[in-house]
Amino acid sequence: MAIGLTHYLVVSAILFSLGVFAIVTRKNAILVLMGLELILNSANLNFIAFAKFGGLNIEGHIAVMFIIVLAAAEVAVALAIVLNIYQNYHHIDVDEINSLKE
Amino acid sequence: MTQETLLLLSAVNLLLPLLGFVAIIFNQKRLGRNAGYFGTSLLGVNLITSIIVAATKLTQFDQAGMLQMKFDWFSLGNHSVTIGLGLDNLAAVMLIVVNLISFLVHLFSLEYMRDDKRFPRFYAYLGIFTFSMIGIVIANNFLNMYIFWELVGLSSYLLIGFWYEKDSAANAGKKAFITNRIGDFGFFAGIMILFYTYGSFMFDDIFALIGDGHLPFDNGTMLTVAGILLFMGAIGKSAQFPLHVWLPDAMEGPTPVSALIHAATMVAAGVYLTARIFPMLTADALLFVAYIGAITAFIAATIAITQNDFKKVLAYSTVSQLGYMIMAIGVGSFTYGFFHLVAHAWFKACLFLGSGSVIHAMHHSMDKAHNHSMDPQDIRNMGGLRKRMPWTYYTFLFSTIAISGVPFTSGFLSKDGILAGTLAFGSLTGHWFITFAGYSAAAMTAFYMFRLLISAFHGRPKTEIAANTHENNKFITIPLVVLSVITFFGFYSLNPFDGGTGWFYNKLKAPATVVPAQYQWSFLVPYEKLNADLHSDNCMNCSPAEAKENPHSAGMENPHSEGMGEVHAEGMENPHAEGMGEVHAEGMENPHADIHAAEANHAHGVHAGSHHAMHRFEEATHEAHVPAMIISLIIAASGIFVAFTFYQFKVFNPDTIVGIIKPFYLLSYNKWYFDEIYDASIIWFTLAFSKLLAWFDLKIVDGTVNLVGWVVNGIGHIVGIFDNVVVDGLVNLSASTIGFFGIVLRKFQTGRVQAYLVMTIIGLMLLIYFVV
């Protein structure tokens, strides 16, 4: 059985779901960030799949490049935030961090 | 002296007393007793100028009618209100009366009021009274007259209540003022009817327009009504029935004031007013005037008989004599009515000043005896004053003789003329009550005046106080002597038995009536006018043939024509009265007729000046003269005789007589219960009405206000509830709704990033589900 677009999209959907699951359920901020990376990568996979089978061609590749760069930058910023949170709260449990409410 | 100078002098006459008033009232402390000398000398100057004015008017300008000065006072729309001064023979004589009596009263008060603490104020008030009285006299229009009319009312009020510490004096002042107000209301209404109709206040304008046939509301009855309303002023001011009750109470004022205001001058203003409006009074109005006068004369005379207060007797006598004058004018005896005013002014002022002299002497005697409980005015405490006070006694005696109508006095001349007038009136119209009232009042006057004289002056002193009185000084006796001297007949007529031949009668002939013939007694319409009316179409309801048969038929439209017809028939038997129209035309049958014709011609010749013309009444008065004189002499003599038998010789005891006629005695002694009747009727009604109004105010008006308040309050409550429940409810509802949503929505605001994310994803999934 040849591997087609559907397989890619299913893998990508699984990845996305895992990412969302990680973000929603994990209490550790680092793990949440990792879930985020999973979602971004599921998106990358979609772009690549559409570049190969869907006629998105080179634009798909370029978008992936951008997303990778963006993700790197995002992780850098997010880790900085997590470090700051840790300095203030002495933990990185996102359930306990609800000062947005105030 | 020109007319202008004459009017200027009378204006000076008017203003000098005002000057005296202003000068004294603002300098009371500084002037002190000098206020009296100042006021008296001002009045002395005034008296001299008034004599000059009157003498000039009565000699140089006696045919000139009314000399006038008119000024525009102010304009109202198209009407300009004109005021002015007028001087005719009537005013000229009246000017002397006012000034002479005022001067003598000023002089008298120098002694009488000597110890009064408000001495200067008394002179100030006398000044403003004299000013206002002269203002009435020389007014040539109703407006001026009304203004000064109210001013004399004010000065009367001030002077009655001069000793206002006494409650009775203060109340008497109020009573006089309020009673006068009733009359003045009518006077004002009458003036307004005339002003509305004729647009003028001037006597001459109004009379001329009435003479041309203009009537108020084109209605003869309205002319009668206007006349009666104007006369109401006189009813109030001259204390006529039914408003006479104030005058006896007014005797609470100082006695010189009683002499000046409430006997001689102010109360005569009503008679003066009636004389002024005489030409415009219709037959009905004249009849009303005559009846009011007759009733007043009769009632007041009956009351005077039983009074024991010296001044009360004189007061009722004044009311009675004023009724006489009014009655005289009402029956058409204009000249004699006015003559009686003048004559009465002298002797009544003398009587009052005499009573003042007696009271003053009694007071002094009481002070010496340290007796302050006795009534110095009660004649039962006097007696025997003749020897103690000869000057007062003799002057009082002369005046009493004059007022009783004994020959050789002015009172005889005027009273005789009036009685002849009432006799003629009775025979011409059939109203014999007036004649009866005139004669019975004359008899009673003679009786009660001599009763007063005998009780006070004759016999033995009834008290120690009376026995120790002394004659007063010259300030008091000089006025008495002057006033009693001018009651002598020679000042008015050289014939002591006929006032009609004297200068007074000739200078003050009755002005011709201006009322259209169908509204006037035919006997008061001048012959020339009557004849003219007969030949024209003025006699609407009768054919010319009838008119010739009965020369008096112009009176047929008159409501009284029935009585007149009969009387006329009776009159035909009288040789003098036979067919006056024919006599006048032929002028030969009757010995009087040529004289009358000559007089009529004479009157016609000077018609423009004197406004006098012969009419039937004058002849009837002439005819009635001798019988009237005889009856009045008998009546006066019997009145005096009865008084002497009762009180001097004590042939009968008055008390037994009183026992026999107890009800009449009580009726008279209690003044016919007028005060009680008024208390029980008008005053009770007024009080009840005001109580009703107070109740109405308290219950209905206040009730309504309270009800409105209550309703508004209720509405307020409802609005409050609506506001609280509905409006606030809505506001609260929206607030709580928002609050509720807030409570709900804040549940989503957990602050947890993951929860947000879940919601985002759910939202996204819902979007995709519904949109895609």
The pair phi, psi for residue B201, each rounded to 5°, is -100, -10
Two tokens, residue B572: 């035909």
Coil, helix or strand for B72?
strand
8 Å CB contact of B754 and A95: yes
Q: A-chain residues within 8 Å CB-CB of B752?
A: 94-95, 97-98, 100
Two tokens, residue B129: 């009274």
Nearest-CB residue to A101 (from B751, B758, B761): B751
Answer with the residue of higher pLDDT: B623 or B320: B320
8 Å CB contact of B749 and A32: no
Q: B-chain residues within 8 Å CB-CB of A23?
A: 754, 757
Q: What is the mean pLDDT of residues B382-393?
A: 84
Give B47: exposed, middle or buried? Use CB within 10 Å, 0-12, 13-18, 19+: buried
Of the candidates B258, B223, B279, the residue with the CA atom closest to the CA atom of residue B65: B279
The predicted pLDDT at position B545 comes to: 40
Sign of CA dihedral B550, B553, B559, B564: negative
Of the candidates B379, B355, B377, the residue with the CA atom closest to the CA atom of residue B366: B377
CB B421 within 8 A of CB B629: no
Closest CA in chain A for residue B754: A24
The predicted pLDDT at position B613 comes to: 60
Confidence of residue B228 (pLDDT cuts 50, 70, 90): very high
Centre a 10 Å sphere on the Cβ of residue B371 and count the other Cβ atoms it contains: 13
pLDDT greater than 70 at residue B685: yes
The predicted pLDDT at position B273 comes to: 92
Confidence of residue B507 (pLDDT cuts 50, 70, 90): confident
Range with lowest mean pLDDT among B118-132, B250-264, B297-311, B603-617? B603-617
CB B56 within 8 A of CB B2: no
8 Å CB contact of A101 and B750: yes
List, as one string, the DSSP characters of B53-102. HHHHHHHTSTTS--EEEEEEEEEETTEEEEEEEEE-HHHHHHHHHHHHHH
pLDDT greater than 60 at residue B609: no
pLDDT greater than 80 at residue B563: no
Looking at chain B, how many residues does it have?
772
Interface A:B, Cβ pairs < 8 A: 28
CB B202 within 8 A of CB B141: yes
Closest CA in chain B for residue A96: B752
The predicted pLDDT at position B70 comes to: 85
Instruction: Give me the residue label for tokens 């409050």.
Output: B720
Distance from CA of A88 to the nearest CA of B (A): 17
8 Å CB contact of B750 and A20: no
Range with lowest mean pLDDT among B316-330, B679-693, B732-746? B679-693
Largest pairwise CA distance in chain A: 55
Confidence of residue B201 (pLDDT cuts 50, 70, 90): confident
The predicted pLDDT at position B33 comes to: 85
pLDDT digits (tens, 9 = 90+) for B398-442: 999 998 888 888 888 888 889 888 988 888 888 889 999 999 999
Before B242, cis peptide (omega within 30)?
Answer: yes
Any CB–CB contact under 8 A between A101 and chain B?
yes
pLDDT greater than 60 at residue B565: no
Confidence of residue B47 (pLDDT cuts 50, 70, 90): very high
Closest CA in chain B for residue A99: B751
The predicted pLDDT at position B552 comes to: 44
Q: Could you say which DSSP state residue B480 is in?
A: H
CB B542 within 8 A of CB B533: no
Nearest-CB residue to A94 (from B749, B752, B761): B752
Of the candidates B293, B274, B596, the residue with the CA atom closest to the CA atom of residue B438: B293
Nearest-CB residue to B758 (from A24, A94, A102): A24
The pair phi, psi for residue B74, each rounded to 5°, is -155, 165
Two tokens, residue B100: 């002479």
8 Å CB contact of A100 and B761: no
Closest CA in chain A for residue B752: A98
The predicted pLDDT at position B48 comes to: 92
- How far apart CA B34 and CA B707 sit, in angstroms, is 66
Q: How much is the mean pLDDT over chain B?
A: 82
Two tokens, residue B256: 């010189």
pLDDT digits (tens, 9 = 90+) for B470-485: 888 888 888 889 888 8
8 Å CB contact of B751 and A32: no
Identify which of B210-219, B516-525, B611-620, B683-692 has the greatest average pLDDT.
Answer: B683-692
pLDDT greater than 60 at residue B449: yes
Q: What is the mean pLDDT of residues B188-199?
A: 89
- How far apart CA B560 and CA B751 sit, in angstroms, is 120
Coil, helix or strand for B521?
coil
The predicted pLDDT at position B533 comes to: 58
The predicted pLDDT at position B530 comes to: 66
pLDDT greater than 80 at residue B71: yes
The predicted pLDDT at position B534 comes to: 56
CB B258 within 8 A of CB B250: yes
pLDDT digits (tens, 9 = 90+) for B637-654: 888 888 888 888 777 777
Compute CA distances B684 → B167, B193, B196, B676, whole Å: 21, 32, 36, 10
The predicted pLDDT at position A13 comes to: 93
- How far apart CA B767 and CA B763 sit, in angstroms, is 6
CB within 8 A of A37, min separation 6: which ones? Answer: A19, A71, A75
Closest CA in chain A for residue B759: A24
The predicted pLDDT at position B601 comes to: 40
pLDDT greater than 60 at residue B765: yes
Any CB–CB contact under 8 A between B762 and chain A?
no
List, as one string, the DSSP characters of B687-738. HHHHHHHHHIIIIIIHHHHHHHHHHHHHHHHHHHHHIIIIIHHHHHHHHHHH
Q: What is the mean pLDDT of residues A45-52?
A: 91
Q: What is the mean pLDDT of residues A80-90?
A: 89
Of the candidates B508, B374, B391, B470, the residue with the CA atom closest to the CA atom of residue B62: B508
8 Å CB contact of B753 and A101: no
> What percentage of chain B carries pLDDT values higher than 70?
89
pLDDT greater than 70 at residue B655: yes
CB B394 within 8 A of CB B484: yes
- How far apart CA A94 and CA B710 sit, in angstroms, is 69
Answer with the residue of higher pLDDT: B144 or B589: B144
- How far apart CA A78 and CA A98 sit, in angstroms, is 17
The predicted pLDDT at position B579 comes to: 38
The predicted pLDDT at position B553 comes to: 39
pLDDT greater than 70 at residue B567: no
CB within 8 A of B261, min separation 6: which ones? Answer: B129, B152, B155, B156, B159, B250, B253, B267
> What percentage of chain B carries pLDDT values higher than 90?
21
Q: What is the mean pLDDT of residues A70-85?
A: 92
8 Å CB contact of B754 and A24: yes
Any CB–CB contact under 8 A between B753 and chain A?
yes
Nearest-CB residue to B761 (from A20, A95, A98): A20
The predicted pLDDT at position A57 comes to: 84
Compute CA distances B766 → A15, A21, A36, B769, B770, whole Å: 21, 18, 22, 5, 6
pLDDT greater than 50 at residue B539: no
The alpha-helical segments, DSSP class H, found in B408-473 are 410-429, 432-457, 464-467
List, as one string, the DSSP characters of B139-152. B-BHHHHHHHHHHH
Any CB–CB contact under 8 A between B670 and chain A?
no
Answer yes or no: pTM beyond 0.90: no
The predicted pLDDT at position B606 comes to: 35
Angle between helical axes of B390-404 and B432-457 (0-180°, round to 10):
170
Q: A-chain residues within 8 Å CB-CB of B754?
A: 23-25, 32, 94-95
pLDDT greater than 80 at residue B761: yes
The predicted pLDDT at position B768 comes to: 92
